[in-house]
Structure 1
Amino acid sequence: MRPEPRQESAPLTRHLRVREDRGHTVLEFHGEIDIAAAAELAPQLDRVTDRPGARIVIDLRNIEFFDCSGLRLLYRARTRVLEHGGTLRLVCTHPLTLRVLRVTGLTRLLPALPTLEAALAQPETTPGPW
């Protein structure tokens, strides 16, 4: 069976590009993810995470800055996806962002993967309560 082709799309905001890849919705965050960016991203993220059984990958490889507003976005996205029986994967390689994720304990709930390929190739699992 051939993998589904990637469907490219235009950026929705200067901080977000959304595309479909192998049955997953990939959300690429770009630039500085602060309170202003979070306000821009939240409606788009809510729209994507509201679908039953959504398979979401959030890709943080193109961010330059990530604060507590970004953490709230990730936690909210994870909660919404699980409530709708979906899955959420996170791709992150930036050392400072990884440190923030570890220090806050978010990596226990949402482990960071090193590549988009790793996130797309992960087998589906039954979501736990948290």
Structure 2
Amino acid sequence: MSVHDHPAPPTRHLRVRGERGHTVLEFHGEIDILAAMEIIPYLDSATARPEPRIVIDLRPVEFFDCSGLRLLYRARRRVLEQGGELRLVCTRELTLRVLRATGLARLLPPSASLDEALSLPEAASGSL
């Protein structure tokens, strides 16, 4: 199963689309353990190919717990193993606090907009 075979996955928690050579995974609603279980197959598909260019957009997220953090760490590990780049978009203050408190914001600096994330040079994309 390829992400490109499923531009609109059958889950209310995820939308997948291509944009400027990147695969954008837009998380929606409450990202908890049930949502994570729905998202994992699509996240794994998007990060399985060589040199994936992934953007995870958290702006539509209303709730984000440790399950969401595990998704981000999983995506980062898989992307780095494939020699790709991962970028993050996040503007919600509560989610940003969680990212900062766990140190993930240092590993994967969040952008304030999709345009900003897509415009980052590769060295600033969390691919180090």
The reply to whether TM is greater than 0.5 is: yes
Number of the residue aligned with 2:108: 110
Question: Paired residue for 2:81?
Answer: 83
Query: How far apart are the structure 2 equivalents of 1:49 and 1:113?
Result: 20
2:41 to 40, 43, 52: 43
Structure 1, unaligned stretches of length 5 or more?
A: 1-8
* Runs of 5+ unmatched residues, structure 2: 1-6
AA in 2 matched with 1:26: V
Deviation of 1:77 (Å)? 0.2
User: TM-score, normalising length from structure 1?
Assistant: 0.89
TM-superposed deviation, 1:10: 2.5
Contact 1:12 1:18 in 2 (8 A): no
Matches for 1:1-130 after TM superposition, within 5 Å: 9-125=7-123, 127-128=127-128
Q: What displacement does 1:12 show?
A: 3.6
The DSSP-based 3-state class of the residue aligned with 1:88 is: strand
- CA RMSD, 1 decimal: 1.2
Do the aligned residues in 2 keep the contact of 1:89 with 1:119 (CA within 8 Å)?
yes
Percent identity among equivalent residues? 71
TM-score between the two structures when normalised by the length of structure 2: 0.90
Structure 1 runs of 4+ aligned residues shifted over 2 Å read 9-12, 125-128
* Structure with the higher fraction of residues in helix conformation: 2
Q: Which has the higher strand share?
A: 1
Cα distance in 1, alignment partners of residues 93 and 10 from structure 2 = 26
> CA–CA distance in 2 between the matches of 1:75 and 1:105?
11
